[in-house]
Amino acid sequence: MRRLALLIAGGALWLILAAAPALADGGPHVMTVNNGSLGINADSCAGCHRAHTAQGPFLINAADETALCLTCHGAVAAGATTDVASGIQYQLAARGGTPLLGALRSGGFVQAAIDSGNPARVLVSNNLASSDDQWAKVRVRTDISGGVDPAPVTSAHLNLADNGLSAPTVAWGNGPIGLGLNGPGPTVSMACASCHNPHGNGQYRILVPIPDPEATSGTFTPAAADAVVADSPADNPDAAESDTKNYTVIQTRGTPGTLSTYLLYADDVSDAGYGPATGDYWHVRVPWNTASTPTTGADAPNGIPANRVGGFFAFNDQMTAWCSACHTRYASAAGDTPSGDELFAYRHETVGNRACTTCHVAHGSNARMEGTFSSSQPFPNGDVPAYDIGGATGDSRLLKVDNRGTCQLCHDPTGTVANGTYTGPIPAPGVP
Amino acid sequence: MRRLALVLAGGALWLILAAVPALADGGPHVMTQNNGSLGINADGCAGCHRAHTAQGPFLINAADETALCKTCHGAAVTGSTVDVMTGVQYALDVDGLRDPATLLGALRGGGYDQARLDAGDASRLSYLRTATAVSQRPKVGVGAAEDVTSAHMAMTENGLTNPGIAWGNGAVGSGIGPVVEISCASCHNPHGNGQYRILNRIPEATGVGFDDGWVVDVLATVASNDRIYTEVSHALLVGDIVTVAGTGTAADGTNLTVASISSNYFTLTGVDILADTGVGGAVTRTSGVGVTDATLPAAGDTRNYTVMQTKGTEGTESTYLLYASQVATAAGAGTFNSIPGDYTATGGDYFARNVPWNPQINNAACDPTIFPAPAACATANSAPNGRPSTFSGQITAWCSSCHTRYFANSNPNPTTVDPLDTGAAWMYPRPGEDIYMYQHRTVAGRDCLTCHVSHGSNAAMTGTFSGSYEYPDGTASASSRLLKVDNRGTCQACHDPTGTIVAGTYIGPASPTVP
């Protein structure tokens, strides 16, 4: 019996190692493989599905979608470079050990490495109308030796056993504008596949064009049209390098239309010599500490910072439209104009460099909400978080800075800070 | 189980105590937290704003600014010790909130719904100002809560219908002033800004034609001393930022800093006027120095917003009654800084023309019939910020940002063109003006807050004339105009136009006290 177990374990290890090349960027998630356009001979179905011995719905090889995803993308798995539980990306050859490539843009579902307590800000102008001119950076959280140091999350887009969260599962703001008709939004059941198409679809981060989680209470209203977020090419143009993408907060300003000038692939990051603790979670401008123009210096993890001819649309605009496919009533072009909705009456602008992903991460944040007001901030339905989040903190709402530092990265409502004043860690952080 | 309960109780107590500093004076209004200079992690934003579910403009968590302010500063709430609706300050409870059972005192600003000015029973002591001239020492004490008869904002609670005009705002000869809308944030910056009462450096109202930049015509520039003479007295303060245009001299420019002032001239830092000029040009104030505030109170304490104040030693803040904890202690002891008095919730002086209002109460040597009085009898200017030498000028400059043409001191003698030939604004008219022509001076001892409260007054204007007094636009009203005494008792607090009252005469309630 012991021999048999040894044999099985050895076989499993071989399968994993043998499969690794096929699990490069995209892994089993490559659209052209799974849609048959490269031939009706895809192997990857077998990576996740069982036709007759499935353990979960959709014939998946795990109890549920999220559990399946975590078999590769979890903290102690080795199937993918991206560990969405801990919020870090490994270099391709070293999954499960060092070296790290960097900290994930989206944070993590269990831990995240956002240095939320030490943001940096140069107040370019204390005029309220110039709030989007400020320079700001939120670094990667590190330990005393400079290593990436994820901390437990205080909010996440999924409640998991590992993060211990039990946040309301409301699709806040979903549904059309209405005077008291739609309330805070329907309660929904979420999983990884609510947002991502694991089969690949050519979208940035294989995001589903129309997220449509199942409503468990109320009615979820899906978007009427596809919310497209353009991706960079699945195949790295540099044939000598891996196709694995760069999912970290490390990015540089490139030349629109010249993909090689962006850090789109993991090997680009390694080749550039940027350490795993570099990068900017805030990414309002790239690089963070210089004046930038929307055409070149805007956030662009897909290499498309601005609209340009040829059917290219600014990343920020597409990303906000995508988030708004669920959080319909959060989209706003003017913060001082009433929406007509009873609950989501006035909304912060979500245009330009005030995209959803400017203030929020997608997966989970470790920002601490320990202040009197921040810790007791009610959800849109009026409920105040009463569940344990990890000490004296409230739900961080996927924000990137402790308490309401997210507001302060762009605003000085007192009008007392002189233009050009730097506030933050000393010495001021570098780039990217 | 008992241990567990003890641990839980201790934990709860810790949470309460830990929260207190965040709710100390300023609450969510502390500048250094909100401007990020103490770190980019302010909690206060979450107290009033919602990024996506705001109910009002500026992403606030209420239908409008005033409604938001009242969620903490209203009458039946506990978020702040300061109840601006009924005009009282409460003691701070151990949980950092209002202790609704313990009044600290009556608010200097009065209230929007009710106020406690003892407007019908003012005090006045006549004294010898010179060997032969008699002047008055007034006091308006604290009385029972009464409905207001005027307020800076018309509200459902007070039932007032204000004309909604920024009286006197605008250039000379521009009429009564523009129609405007104001809210709490017109005057206060709720984010904190280091200013006294978090007053905006320059208040802002919305309305067509409203202009919060003073414009004062320049009369002449003088090369020998770099002075720029203004046609009428200006309210500029050292440090104000101004624009000068049209003089044709080196003074013309923007973002210039006022270096020195006198009532009818000023100089600018770094500006060397090379030639005398005749009439021409104007100076516009673009940023004010504001109204200086005292040091923030310690954690667990709040400021003293009441009408109680004492004479202190300028530069030594501890000698002023700046904080609520000092008032509470003084109330129990019956003395503060060795000054005996009534520091209970009914103590204090709304008029605050001088501090103490009557030095004889604590010093028998201060006989009002003796001139000169002993040095120990000297009174001080009102200084709720602990700065008697500058408060009066600063607050008047601030009020005048909106009520531009209400600032008055000296106007030119209309019969000469000599810039030095000026006289009191009650004697010489404001040139080019047909409404705000002759005016009461608004300088130290007669600053705006000497006669008026800022929020609301319960003074009763029941007399034939006071009850039908015209606004500058000619509309009659019984509004008390934020004055502090019934009818025109405000005038009488300082004036005996009959010349019949002798020094030493006291009129008012029995057994007057200080402060």
Angstrom distance (rounded) from CA A424 to CA A16: 45
CA A364 to chain centre: 8
Alpha helices for B270-323 (secondary structure H): none
Mean pLDDT confidence for A222-228 = 96
Angstrom distance (rounded) from CA A349 to CA A340: 15
Task: Give pLDDT, residue A50.
Answer: 92
In sequence order, the β-bridge partners of residue B218 are: B230
Q: Which of A327, A373, A414 sits opposite B47 (nearest CB)?
A: A373
Residues of chain B in contact with residue A334, where contact means CB-CB under 8 angstroms, are none
Angstrom distance (rounded) from CA B90 to CA B82: 6
CA A173 to chain centre: 19
Task: Give pLDDT, residue A95.
Answer: 54
Q: Do A119 and B40 touch (CB under 8 A)?
A: yes
Four-point Cα dihedral B263, B264, B265, B266, nearest 10: 40
Residues 6+ apart with CB under 8 A from B228: B218, B220, B221, B222, B244, B247, B251, B265, B266, B267, B268, B273, B283
Q: Do A348 and B15 touch (CB under 8 A)?
A: no
Q: Which of A136, A370, A407 sits opposite B45 (nearest CB)?
A: A407
Decide if B132 touches A, using CB distance below 8 A: no
Four-point Cα dihedral B395, B399, B401, B402, nearest 10: 170
| Residue B465 exposed, middle or buried by CB count within 10 Å (0-12, 13-18, 19+) | exposed
Give the number of other Cβ atoms within 10 Å of residue A382's Cβ.
9
Task: Give pLDDT, residue A17.
Answer: 33
Q: Which of A330, A371, A401 sits opposite B22 (nearest CB)?
A: A371
Task: Give pLDDT, residue A115.
Answer: 98
pLDDT tens string A325-339: 999 999 999 888 999
Task: Give pLDDT, residue B20.
Answer: 33
More confident: A341 or B511: A341
Is the confidence at residue A25, as pLDDT, over 90? no
**Contacts A–B by Cβ distance under 8 A:** 134
Four-point Cα dihedral A171, A177, A180, A182, nearest 10: -30
Residue A80 in tokens: 């993918």
| Residue B144 exposed, middle or buried by CB count within 10 Å (0-12, 13-18, 19+) | exposed
pLDDT tens string B90-115: 999 988 899 999 999 999 999 999 99
For the sheet with B98-106, list strands across it: B82-83, B88-92, B98-106
Radius of gyration of chain B (CA): 24
Q: Do A405 and B40 touch (CB under 8 A)?
A: yes
Q: Do A416 and B51 touch (CB under 8 A)?
A: no
What is residue A206's DSSP assignment? G
pTM of whole model > 0.80?
Answer: yes
pLDDT tens string A299-315: 999 999 999 999 999 99
Smallest CA–CA distance, residue A367 to chain B, in Å, is 10
Mean pLDDT confidence for A141-146 = 96
Angstrom distance (rounded) from CA B181 to CA B402: 12
Within the 29-58 window of chain B, which residues sit less than 8 Å (CB to CB) from chain A?
31, 34-37, 39-47, 49, 51-58
pLDDT tens string A69-80: 999 999 988 889
Q: Do A415 and B23 touch (CB under 8 A)?
A: no
Angstrom distance (rounded) from CA A363 to CA A281: 13
Q: Do A415 and B201 touch (CB under 8 A)?
A: yes
Q: Do B42 and A392 touch (CB under 8 A)?
A: no
Is the confidence at residue A127, as pLDDT, over 90? no
Angstrom distance (rounded) from CA A91 to CA A99: 6
More confident: B95 or A364: A364
Do residues B493 and B468 lie in contact, with contact meaning Cβ atoms separated by under 8 Å? no
- Nearest residue of A to residue B57 by CA position? A336
Task: Give pLDDT, residue B89.
Answer: 98
Confidence of residue A97 (pLDDT cuts 50, 70, 90): low
Is the confidence at residue A9, as pLDDT, over 50? no
Task: Give pLDDT, residue B278.
Answer: 65
Angstrom distance (rounded) from CA A343 to CA A328: 13
Q: Do B41 and A403 touch (CB under 8 A)?
A: yes
Angstrom distance (rounded) from CA A90 to CA A92: 6
Residue type present at position A86 = S
Stretches in chain B below the pLDDT threshold 50: 1-24
Residues of chain B in contact with residue A374, where contact means CB-CB under 8 angstroms, are 43, 46
Do residues B399 and B406 lie in contact, with contact meaning Cβ atoms separated by under 8 Å? yes
Q: Looking at this predicted complex, what is its ipTM?
A: 0.85
Within the 204-263 window of chain B, which residues sit less than 8 Å (CB to CB) from chain A?
none
Residues 6+ apart with CB under 8 A from B439: B406, B408, B425, B426, B430
Confidence of residue A22 (pLDDT cuts 50, 70, 90): very low
Task: Give pLDDT, residue A81.
Answer: 92
Residue with tokens 């002993």: B374
Task: Give pLDDT, residue A262.
Answer: 96
Give the number of other Cβ atoms within 10 Å of residue A9's Cβ.
10
Residue-wise over A86-109: b if at least 16 C-beta within 10 A, else e? Answer: bbbbbbbeebeeeebbbbbbbbbb
Is the confidence at residue A376, as pLDDT, over 70? yes
Four-point Cα dihedral B448, B450, B452, B454, nearest 10: 70
